[in-house]
Amino acid sequence: MFEKDNFIPPLSSHELQRQASIERSRVIQAYMRTAMRAAAKWLRVLVLRGRRFARGVAAQRRWRRDVRELQRLDDRALKDMGVHRSDMEFAVRHGLPTRGASRLNTTGTALLHVSTLLPDDAIAAHHWGE
């Protein structure tokens, strides 16, 4: 009934411990690889979201600064630029419609950013705290 050619001798306790140790190491390595991949993915997402948040904060600061600069101007200077006092924030965030500008918004109309209309000395004075 049983063939003696396929007989496998029983392993010694030392050999069983060695094979169990090898298998345990493989399982631990597999778990560590999975954990490291998950940690790397989490860190990448964290960095990308942090970068997006920082860019948003910087854009908000620039918009507020530009609105403050426009608020310092008198009505005549604003009229010369084509900005109404009630439309300052919109003009800073979205630009002003103009002809021949190189940038196009989503509707296909050309936009000119308000900061390009501010005099260079006003911008320099703001940056240097004058």
Q: Output the pLDDT for position 63.
A: 92
**Burial class of residue 66 in the structure, from the number of CB atoms within 10 Å of its CB (0-12 exposed, 13-18 middle, 19+ buried):** buried
Q: Output the pLDDT for position 68.
A: 92
Q: What is the mean pLDDT of each run of 10 residues along the chain (130 residues)?
A: 66 90 97 97 97 96 92 89 86 73 46 54 46
Q: What is the pTM of this model?
A: 0.51
Q: What percent of the chain has pLDDT over 90?
A: 42
Q: Output the pLDDT for position 94.
A: 84
Q: Output the pLDDT for position 25.
A: 97
